[in-house]
Amino acid sequence: MTDRTLNYLGLALVGIVGAAFLVLTPRFAELDVVLELTIYMIMAILALSLALIWGYGGILCFGQAAFFGLGAYTYAIAMFNIGESTMPLLLAIALPAVFAALLGYFMFYGRISDVYLGVITLTVTLILFNSVNSTAGPEFRIGAARLGGFNGIPGIPPLNIPGNKAWVVDLEGMFYLATGALLATYFGLRWLLASRFGRIIVGIRENERRAELLGYDPRAYKLATFTIGGALAGFAGCLFANWGAFVSPTIFGLAQSAQIIIWVIVGGRGTLVGPIVGCIGIQWLTTALGANQPSGSDWWTKLLANAPFILGIILIAFVLLVPKGLVPTLGDWGQALLRARTRRPATGLKPKQAEEG
Amino acid sequence: MDLVILLAIQVLYAIASLALISVGLAIIFGMMRVINLAHGEFLMLGGYAAIVATSRGVNIWISMLVVAPVVVGIIGVIVERTIIRFLYGRMIDTMLATWGLSLFLVGLTTAIFGNTTVGISAPLGSFQIGAYRTSGYTLFVIGVAAVVLFGILVVLRGTRLGLIARGTMQNANMAAALGVNPPRVYAVTFGIGAALSGLAGAVLAPVSGVFPTIGVAYVAKSFITVIGGGAAILSGTVSASTLFGTINQLATFATTPVFGEVALLAAAIVLIRLLPQGITGRFFRRGL
């Protein structure tokens, strides 16, 4: 089989599995399971936003939570002020995108290296957390929306069908919306990465100097990638605010930022399926740990139910032992197996991992 | 006039505390090119070490100035031997691994000490400046920062240890050829950086209290300081903490502490845009 047919087969597989999941789940699962799955889908969109800018663009962004949180807060604030969800939804995508573009302009046109970039994005997230966290007083309001500080904003109105305020999206509708959005995001990114633009950003990731010598301006391409990632994260934030009808500053927190990075690391950089798998796996694990709060007060039982502790171990273990992530590593094993079976003569050329997934 | 003196002390304190929380990170970054994202947790552990020791009856000065740095220094060496040494030269992986370490430590301390703030009351009372009162502990923190910075200068410039450290920092292979053992220098350097972080965490514990996630509050400020300062350890830390501390304190004085922090960040982003290599990348290049 050629790589091309494999590629189409993969795409078709994702499409079929996704469509089956979309149609069948609400029919057979309990409502609480559907609710749980919805949040996995939303977080997977967030994971994809980082998969694009880090996995393909090579931009290490520790602050993806900033765009996610900004999207959620923008939607909430706009919703209280406008009351019809079309504008708030668009704002929740546009505002994080503009913020990402401004921040990205400073970083990329300042020629800041990878590591500094990570630190700056992390710092921006933390400052946002501190700022929003301290807005508990009644004087902190934007129009009709009170920011609420560490208490967060409760009772956020749900999305409605554009133009019809009465027709709001219910819990099941939210599942369809989130799953559909995830599938659309996945296929959209596949298309983007297969386009000329996608080839160039991967080229820049592989060798920035060389891409520049070929006449591409890496700064502009990185800025565009970063902005698209910010917009996507903002969109996920908007869905998140819908899902719980609640946002609080923890959305900007270190734990949230760390999680997004961990999803991508665990699943595999340079793939799109990997971060989705990593996201759903880790989310499921975190929920399971949280649900099993032990009754005893032994400190070690508390430790095993402690999400940061477990996530920390997972992150260290993956960086040290499985740096490529699950999906590429499994892919390597699969290929080795295939090669052993067919005994194809080695060509000496390894297929490029980065452009699959 | 009194207000001016008070404000000057506040600005000095802001500078001193920034320098204190950043210098451990600056040593590790400046010498080893390792970005330690668990830095905030090292400070937090220093705070806990001091508080636990004090509650067990150790004199408060000894637990702050001796126990905390020793405990965190040992932890630092263990971390270097078990995690960091496999990742030299892979800067991003080091960041990720130390971030994992940071989560790990937060989880561990939450399980052991609970999620509440513990504190020790600041010794040294307060004194009068005209119509205002200010805490004597403020002056103590300024003093500690001065002693630490001066101590680093003396060690790096005047001792054999400092010579070896600077040589390894400039060219590890050449140092190895001359008979120095770079892995050991790295382990010791990391330990010293961690110990200084522990000291800073302990000294600031009476001011801010200690809780498992306090590292978050420190980590952003110290990173911005180190990166704004650039690779030179001493001149970088001093110049950046002077700049950011002044901006932070003046903005705090004019508005609220939150906007003080926002002003600090905004200043840092503009600075990095103008001087991507940090202050010492362009000025004080020959400094330490």
CA distance to partner chain A, nearest, from residue B178 (Å): 31
Q: Tell me the per-residue pLDDT of A69-96, one tens digit each, with 9 for 90 and over.
A: 999 999 999 988 887 888 899 999 999 9
Q: Do the Cβ atoms of A111 and B213 come within 8 Å?
A: no
Q: Answer whether A303 sits within 8 Å of B268, measured CB to CB.
A: no
Encode pLDDT of A223-239 as tens digits. Answer: 999 999 999 999 999 99
The chain A residue lying nearest B259, using CA atoms, is A131
| Count of positions (residues) in chain B | 288
Contact criterion met (CB < 8 Å) for B111 and A258: no
Distance of CA B200 to the CA centre of its chain: 6
CA gap B137, B121 in Å, rounded: 10
Nearest CA in chain B to A107: B273
pLDDT for A52 equals 94
Tell me what the pLDDT averaged over chain A comes to: 84
End-to-end alpha carbon distance in chain B: 36
The H-or-E segment that residue B127 falls in is: strand B126-129
Using CA atoms, how far apart are residues A83 and A77, in angstroms rounded to an integer?
Answer: 10
Q: Is the dihedral of CA B118, B45, B20, B215 positive or negative?
A: negative
Give the residue carrying structure tokens 């592989």: A206
Of the candidates A62, A119, A129, which has its C-beta nearest B227's C-beta?
A: A119
- DSSP per-residue codes, A51-89: IIIIIIT----TTHHHHHHHHHHHHHHHHHHH-SSHHHH
**How confident is the model at residue B77, as a pLDDT?**
94
Share of residues in chain A with pLDDT > 90 (%): 36
Burial of A337 (0-12, 13-18, 19+ CB in 10 A): exposed
In the structure, how many helices (H) and strands (E) does chain B have? 13, 2
pLDDT tens for A309-346 read 888 898 899 989 888 888 888 888 888 888 777 765 55
Number of C-beta neighbours around residue B3 at 10 A: 12
Helix (H, G, I), strand (E, B) or coil at B84: helix
Q: Determine the pLDDT at residue B245.
A: 87
Region A181-191 average pLDDT? 94
Query: How much is the pLDDT for A354?
Result: 46
CB atoms within 10 A of CB B145: 25
| The predicted structure's pLDDT at residue A293 | 59
CB A32 within 8 A of CB A264: no
Q: For residue A297, is pLDDT > 80?
A: no
Chosen for mutation from B79, B101, B104, B224 (greatest number of chain A CBs closer than 10 Å) is B104
Burial of A287 from C-beta contacts in 10 A (0-12 / 13-18 / 19+): middle
Torsion of CA B150, B151, B155, B158, to 10 degrees: 50
- Chain A interface disruption, residue of B91, B93, B103, most A CBs within 10 A: B103
Tell me, what's the pLDDT at A277? 92
Query: With left for phi above 0 and alpha for psi between -120 and 50, is residue A293 left, alpha or beta?
Result: beta
Dist CA A68 CA A231 (whole Å): 9
Contact criterion met (CB below 8 Å) for B46 and B202? yes
CB A319 within 8 A of CB A263: no
Of A111, A122, A255, the CB nearest to B276: A111
Query: In this model, does residue A303 exceed pLDDT 90?
Result: no
Residue B272 to residue A131, Cβ atoms within 8 A: no
Q: Which amino acid is at B288?
A: L
The helix (H) or strand (E) run that includes residue B126 is strand B126-129
Can you tell me the mean pLDDT for A245-268? 87
Cross-chain CB nearest to A110 (options B97, B258, B273): B273
What residues contact residue A254 under an 8 Å CB cut-off, 6+ apart?
Answer: A125, A126, A129, B213, B216
pLDDT for position B198: 94
pTM of the model: 0.84
B136-158 and B182-208 helices cross at what angle (nearest 10)? 170
HSE at residue A224, side-chain half, CA atoms within 13 A, is 11
Rounded CA-CA distance B135/A99 in Å is 41
Q: Which residues of chain B have pLDDT under 70?
A: 125, 130-131, 284-288
Q: Tell me the Ramachandran region of residue A58: left when phi exceeds 0, alpha when psi lies from -120 to 50, beta otherwise.
A: left
**Residues from B in contact with A at Cβ < 8 Å:** 35, 37, 83, 86-87, 91-93, 95-97, 99-108, 110-112, 213, 216-217, 219-220, 223-224, 227, 256, 258, 261-262, 265, 268-269, 272-274, 276
**B106 and A308: CB-CB below 8 Å?**
yes
In which element (H, E) is residue B206 found? helix B182-208
pLDDT at site A26: 76
Residue with tokens 């006039």: B1
Give pLDDT, residue A227.
Answer: 96
Per-residue burial over B60-89, b if 16 or more Cβ lie within 10 Å, else e, is beebbbbbbbebbbebbbebbeebbeebbe
Which of A71-75, A109-113, A232-236, A256-260 has the weakest average pLDDT? A109-113
Average pLDDT score over residue span A240-252: 89
Q: Is residue B235 a contact partner of residue B284, using CB atoms and an 8 Å limit?
A: yes
Asked if the Cβ–Cβ distance from B107 to A307 is below 8 Å, we say: yes
Say what angle helices A326-342 and A254-267 make with each other, to 10 degrees.
Answer: 0
Query: Would you call B107 and A110 a contact, using CB atoms and an 8 Å cutoff?
Result: no
Can you give the pLDDT at residue A294?
56
Residue A187 has pLDDT above 90, yes or no: yes
CA distance A349 to A111: 33
Give A293's contacts (C-beta < 8 A, 6+ positions apart): A305
* Interval A23-53: pLDDT, tens: 777 777 788 888 889 999 999 999 999 999 9
Reported confidence tier of residue A298, pLDDT bands at 50, 70, 90:
low
Find the CB nearest A312 among B107, B261, B276. B107
The pLDDT value recorded for residue B31 is 81
Q: What is the pLDDT of residue A355?
A: 46
In contact, B21 and B179? CB cutoff 8 Å: no
Query: A297 to chain B nearest CA, in Å?
Result: 10
Confidence of residue A356 (pLDDT cuts 50, 70, 90): very low
Angle at which helices B160-170 and B182-208 cross, to 10°: 110
